[in-house]
Structure 1
Amino acid sequence: MDKHSPAGADYTVQRRVAGNHDMRMDGISDLVLRARGGSVFDIGCNRGMVGYEFAANGAKIVHGCDIYEPGILAAREVFADLRAVESRFEVVDLTGGPASLKAFGQRRYDFVLCLATYHKLKRIMTAEELTALMQHFGKMTKTYFGWRGTSDKPDENEDEMAVLDRDLGEVGLKRIHTSYISAELGVAAIWARS
């Protein structure tokens, strides 16, 4: 039994993110400060808590996808009470490439977030498939693309940023910010539409 669950409760929920709630946007929190009136797409949104931070700071549209169905169901529940926010959370297997995102149509977003997700996709997709997917997300980006690397394999982060510089650059985004401030979560970066 989990030490935080009521006595006798069967509690099997597991932690799925690095860090804690207050640290998720460490190094790229400037994006949250620009959320008012904006739209957000969170790649690998887990339970929707990053999107919630954007909504709490005035975002009007928060969408996200994840392969983790219990997380998507939780995100839907959380956002059901936010009447001023248009939300949509879908279970998506991104290995299907851009076609797997058909539920979201051709919409573009002010903010597209890829936080601690890229390295997971890199393990299960070919380089060509991952480039096509990231360029699709780049095309979905109206203003800012936010990325966080992995904290458990920090040596990979610089290479990933270089690949993203190339892939996102080909669709009109340029890296404008890189942060190494978070010792716990690793490097973060922001690309902007040029």
Structure 2
Amino acid sequence: MDKSPQGVQRRVAGYHDFRMDGMTDLVLRAQGKSVFDIGCNRGAIGFEFACNGATTVHGCDIYEKGIEAAREWFADLRKVDSRFEVIDLTGGPAALKPFGARKYDFVLCIATYHKLKRIMAAEDLSALMQYFGKATKGYFAWRGTSDKPDENEEEMAALDRELGEVGLKRIHTSYLSAELGVAAIWCRP
């Protein structure tokens, strides 16, 4: 990863709105909604949802400095219920205990699935995605990786199965972003 002149490591491709390329319609539906961001990094995408009216923004990441930054971003947003926790998702659903059994209008998995796929057994990753699918009241959004675009189609097929088993159906697929690759949205009918 690239480093800035100040030594800060670049951890994502693009800025928050650019990272939502192909699925920004969700941001337009944020008013009064709840959001959970899997692998939230520094909370920039969640902040965009908050700026567009989301009343709850929660997220997790294993990157401690990112979680600290997310907490700082949200510290002054008094009308937003925010919670950001350092979570190792390889611990499965049990690792998400700090969030309770809450359900969210939007669950975001932006450029995270492929990282989990590298370090988790397939059945454990499937159980984790089904857990998040069950926690989705409305929309589950996913973005693949531009690093290995040939894996994106198989990831979408896996999510079709995993999320389909808990009642979600893919309603949108976008190849709009040449830089970031494919994005998809599943919905609870």
Task: Find the aligned partners of 2:177 and 2:41 in 1 and give their Cα distance.
Answer: 20
Counting only pairs closer than 5 Å after superposition, residues 1-194 of structure 1 correspond to structure 2 as: 2-3=4-5, 11-194=6-189
| Runs of 4+, deviation exceeding 6 Å | none
What fraction of aligned residue pairs are identical, expressed as a percent?
78
> Equivalent residue of 1:133, what SS?
helix
Task: Find the aligned partners of 2:122 and 2:24 in 1 and give their Cα distance.
Answer: 29
The letter for the 2-side match of 1:149 is G
TM-score, normalisation: structure 2 = 0.97
Q: How far off its partner does 1:21 sit?
A: 3.4
Task: Find the aligned partners of 2:73 and 2:16 in 1 and give their Cα distance.
Answer: 15
Structure 1 unmatched ranges of 5 or more: 4-10
Which protein is bigger by CA-based radius of gyration? 1
The letter for the 2-side match of 1:189 is A
Deviations 1:123-143 (A, max 9, x none): 000110000000000000000
The letter for the 2-side match of 1:151 is S
Instruction: Please provide the CA RMSD for this pair.
Output: 1.0
C-alpha contact (below 8 Å) 2:17/2:45 kept by paired residues: no
The letter for the 2-side match of 1:137 is F
